[in-house]
Amino acid sequence: MEVLQKQQSTTSWQMVVAEKLKRDEKKLQADWKLSPKILSQARDRKSIANGFIDGLLDDRTKYLTSLDTVDLMKRTGEGSLSALELTMAFCKRAAFAHQLVRTLP
C-alpha cells in the first residue's frame, strides 16, 4: 500500500510539472523559443551563463541588457531608449535563460 501511495504522489507531481512546462512554453513569443538543437547544446555544457546566452542574443538585446542602471535611466529619460524596447530586451534574455535552466541536470 505504501509503495502505491509513493508511486501515485510521484506521478502526481510529475504531471503537474509537465503541465506547467507546457503552459509556460505557450506563453513564449514564437521567435523567443529556442530550437531543440540549442537546448541539446545547452545540456552538454557545464555552464550556460554569459557567453552561451550572449551568443544566442542579437547585438541590440545584448547591448541593452548590459547597460548599468545609470545609463538605462539616462537614456530612457532623454528618450533615446524607450521603456518598451528596454522591457522587451530584458524579457527576451529572461525567456532564453528560463528555457536553458530547464536543461540543467
Segment 48-62, tens digit of pLDDT = 877 889 999 999 999
Give how many domains the chain has, as a whole number.
2
* Range 26-50 average pLDDT: 87
Segment 40-98, tens digit of pLDDT = 988 888 888 778 899 999 999 999 999 999 999 999 999 999 999 999 999 999 999 98
The residue type at 40: S
The residue type at 33: K
Do 4 and 43 lie in a common domain? no
Do 75 and 55 lie in a common domain? yes
Residue 72 to residue 58: CA distance in whole angstroms: 18
Q: What is the DSSP code (8-state) at residue 1?
A: -
Residue 16 to residue 5: CA distance in whole angstroms: 17
User: Please, how many CA atoms are within 13 Å of residue 104, restricted to the half-sphere of its CB?
Assistant: 9
Query: The pTM is what?
Result: 0.77
Residue 75 to residue 66: CA distance in whole angstroms: 13
Do 65 and 93 lie in a common domain? yes
Do 12 and 38 lie in a common domain? no
Which comes out higher in pLDDT, residue 64 or 2?
Answer: 64
Instruction: Name which of 43, 27, 45 is nearest 35 in CA terms.
Output: 43
